[in-house]
Amino acid sequence: MDKSSELQARIRPATETDAEAIALIYNHYIEHSTVTFEQSAITDNEMLQRIQLIRQAALPFLVLEQQGLLIGYAYASPWRARIGYRFSVESSVYLSPDSAGLGYGSLLMQQLLLQLTQAGYHAVMAGIALPNDASVALHEKFGMTKVAHFYQVGTKFGQWLDVGYWQLLLQNPQQEAVQGAGCAT
């Protein structure tokens, strides 16, 4: 991506009015790829509910606009429900098909990781349906390393699919205080 394109790209928090555009991007992947195991397109209202759940959890849900058009989004969701996992999240990044491979995923991932670090999160995981060379490259570009590989755990379009997990431990100056919180002395 050249500097002029980067300057025209804008990342901001998702709002309720973005649900339709986000659902349109996500539905492309539901209907035409194996990167998500969902098999039926979701409605704008379903996407709105997902955005609201992420926001209620005080996690980032970001959108990227290029010349006023929403072309991608990224968000973090809770890793697990139990309280001990509260400093760990799972990340997701999606781009409109025409915007893939142009560096926009990197812009979203960079901002998502920055916000997670600033909020005091410790671990970020990414589950990637395999094969998916572009997603693997994006996550590894940001220092994520493969920590697990599950064989044939999902099915779509009549085929069994593997899922790999990548992880990054965030460098956060607040972590020392967090690690000591809740420990009996």
In this structure, are residues 4 and 121 in contact, taking their beta carbons and an 8 Å threshold? no
What sign does the dihedral 23-29-30-35 (CA atoms) show?
negative
In this prediction the pTM is 0.89
CB-count burial class (<10 Å; 0-12, 13-18, 19+) for 110:
middle
**What is the predicted pLDDT for the residue at 39?**
96
pLDDT per residue as tens digits for the range 85-97: 999 999 999 999 9
**What is the predicted pLDDT for the residue at 182?**
47
Q: How far lies 58's CA from each of 76, 77, 150, in Å?
A: 10, 9, 30
Kindly write down the DSSP assignment for every residue of the chain, as one continuous string: --HHHHHHEEEEE--GGGHHHHHHHHHHHHHH-SSS---SPPPHHHHHHHHHHHHHTT--EEEEEETTEEEEEEEEEES-SSGGGTTEEEEEEEE-GGGTTTTHHHHHHHHHHHHHHHTT--EEEEEEEES-HHHHHHHHHTT-EEEEEEEEEEEETTEEEEEEEEEEE---TTHHHHHHTT---
**What is the predicted pLDDT for the residue at 171?**
87
Residues of the chain where predicted confidence (pLDDT) is lower than 70:
1-7, 172-185
What sign does the dihedral 79-117-128-22 (CA atoms) show?
positive
